[in-house]
Amino acid sequence: MSPEVLTILMFGTLVLAIALGHPLAVTLAGVATLYGLIDNGFNVPALLDLFVNNAWGIFLNYTLVAVPLFIFMAQILDRSKVSEGLFDALYIVLGGLRGGLGMAVIVVSTVFAATTGIIGASVVAMGLMAGPALLRRGYERGMSAGIICSSGTLGILIPPSIMLVVYGGLTGLKETSVGNLFAGAILPGLVLSGLYLLYVAVRCGINPKLGPPIPREERTHTAGQKFAMTMKSFVPPFSLILTVMGTILAGVATPTEAAALGCIGAMVLALFNRKLNWEVLTQSSISTARTTAMIMALFIGGKLFSVVFLSMGGGDVVADALLGMDVSPYVVLAIMMSVVFFLGMFIDWAAILLVVVPIFTPIAMDLDFNPLWFAMLVCINLQTSFLTPPFGYALFYFKGVAPPEYTMGDIYRGIIPFVIIQLIGLALMITFPEIITWLPDVFFGN
């Protein structure tokens, strides 16, 4: 069969298998095996050699050691309740504003994102803390759900993000090293957080019923007390952020070494909060092992899929189709971003990276796009995958811990404005690439 026919059939089989509900890692590896055998004339030893060599290459990738370390750090922080103190402080500081509690959730989620790198921990923690609080204060349910789910997804973009570690391990390019990706993601993450804050402030300013302020009689704290509460709750997580990100950006430590420092810092914070005990360490270790195993299984399945796809000429088919169009490079970029956005509705972010990065990155380089800029566009785009139905993970994380008053209809309705905001943010990054490239230029001289 021709590469064009195999390409169409391979993607069609993948989509069908996913729609039937088969495990994603097994699906990727199974489809790769089937079409690898078809392409090489059912030469089983040759295909096994190809699979073993590429799978072994994954386990030799030193950068990926950071994955379990960052996951363990997130698990410790989640169980040490670091975010609760900050939310309680900002609850008091911002509660007197229209939409103030919603803005407090966004600020806390932004700080928490910079210490965890995993959206599950952020969404669940804020769902448990803020979900009931926002309801008690009369916040509209859709607005509340949208705030918690969207701000919780910042954990997959703002460093130390597991997604960025995986992306850096995939490309092998200097421009998209984990350090460069971390530096490049800081401002986009803060821009998105700022857009969320602006939206909540404007909407609740126009219509206070969406997010009413705390009654005046409950605002009994002085300015000095508010400042002291904020500093007491903000300094510990900020110190951890400086430990992890500061050592990477200063060139003192590699991302893997910084992740190890982050684990130590997270345990110190847990110790100060009197949450560090054998049970916390055991449960954090078990959760880390399970999550790492899932990610690595996806990594292997995706690697096998991309290797077979490229070896049978699928990458050339896609590249010829996109590069052969007589259109602006930005039209091709829009097509690639649309593909990533669409896949995000149905497939896990890790599988999307493993499938599209080996195919789209060479195309982006042929179009003379900055590899770091293009990588960040893909990652920002993938953040929306946690919010877009039918399989937006953040929506189900929140529903699993939210009070019963929140229906799936409330959640779906509430996230629509925030998905639009994320797409606006993506458009800003395309229009002003310096938002992405400036910090890496400052720290690493790219």
pLDDT given for residue 355 in this prediction: 81
pLDDT given for residue 219 in this prediction: 63
Domain ranges of the chain: 3-444
**Mean per-residue pLDDT pooled into runs of 10, the chain (446 residues):** 83 81 82 89 88 81 80 80 72 79 88 74 77 86 91 86 84 84 93 95 91 74 74 80 83 84 88 86 89 82 84 81 84 92 80 84 91 94 84 80 85 92 95 94 78
pLDDT given for residue 21 in this prediction: 73
pLDDT given for residue 221 in this prediction: 67
pLDDT given for residue 392 in this prediction: 76
Q: pTM for this structure?
A: 0.84
pLDDT given for residue 146 in this prediction: 92
pLDDT given for residue 217 in this prediction: 67
pLDDT given for residue 415 in this prediction: 92
- C-alpha span between 93 and 270 (Å, rounded): 25
